[in-house]
Amino acid sequence: MENKKIRIALTKGRLENKTVDLLDKIGYDVSELRDKGRRLILTIPDEDIEVVLAKAADVITYVEHGVCDIGVVGKDTIMEYGGKFYEITDLGFGRCKFALAGKKGDDFYSGYGVKTVATKYPNVTRTYFEAKGMDVDIVKIEGSVELAPLVSLADGIVDIVETGTTLKENGLEVFEDVAPISARLIVNTVSMKLKQERIAKIVKQIEENL
Ligand code: PRP
């Protein structure tokens, strides 16, 4: 007998509303999710589905450890943290990109010195410049990375660009696109086998409502 209870980890914040809208569109009762207060575990009545809300990187951790069967997380987080899980579906929302950016008019590649790049995503940045065969110094920043080139901490940044407003309002511009980003559906590798039927049904419902 298949253990039917399914736990889904949702990324709090930017992706949250769009994910709840998607679950709503499927026909699930998302009233708890819409009116959650400070609660972190919500149920979808009648479906035997529990939803937990977590920070992006933690969604991967919960799915990897098998305490959540399914996760919704951005490709940015998957690229930075990796992990052992199945990446099943591109959900198509939460679209933005990783870009290399810096002060408007600067030529990032000019000169011979090693360039300094500030980022919240050191692994993505390392992989990108390694592929180019270019040695760079990477400085990890926790937020508002756009500040780094403005105060001359870095020659450039690798960061998420959505509308481009943050760059524009700070006199910065995209030098190069690094990678496209969107929300992805991920599934724990063991759940995929042990709860195959239930997960296949949910994935199908999600894909049909994108
Ligand atoms: C992200 C990113 C940029 C901004 C881009 O930051 O790091 O700062 O959004 O969006 P835009 O192109 O539409 O202006 P986020 O708000 O996630 O927070 P952070 O500054 O803490 O990284």
Tell me, in angstroms, the distance from the centre of ligand 1 to residue 167's CA. 9
Tell me, in angstroms, the distance from the centre of ligand 1 to residue 177's CA. 16
Ligand 1 close to Cβ of residue 166 (< 6 A): yes
What pLDDT is recorded for position 15?
Answer: 97
Ligand 1 close to Cβ of residue 61 (< 6 A): no
| Below-50 pLDDT ranges, the chain | none
What class is the 6-94+182-208 domain?
alpha beta
CB 185 within 8 A of CB 70: yes
Domains of the chain: which residue ranges? 6-94+182-208, 96-180
What pLDDT is recorded for position 133?
Answer: 97
In the DSSP assignment, the letter for residue 14 is: T
Q: Answer yes or no: same fold for 6-94+182-208 and 96-180.
A: yes
- Residues 43-56 have pLDDT tens digits of 999 999 999 999 99
Q: Report the nearest-CA residue for atom 2 of ligand 1.
A: 160
What pLDDT is recorded for position 131?
Answer: 98
- Record the pTM: 0.95
- Residues 168-206 have pLDDT tens digits of 999 999 999 999 999 999 999 999 999 999 999 999 999
Q: How far is CA 193 from CA 120, 153, 169, 198, in A?
A: 35, 48, 49, 10
What pLDDT is recorded for position 4?
Answer: 75
Ligand 1 close to Cβ of residue 142 (< 6 A): no
What pLDDT is recorded for position 17?
Answer: 97
Closest Cα partner for 131 from 89, 107, 100, 162?
A: 100
State residue 56 phi and psi, 5-degree precision.
Answer: -50, -55
CATH number of 96-180: 3.40.190.10
In the DSSP assignment, the letter for residue 83 is: -
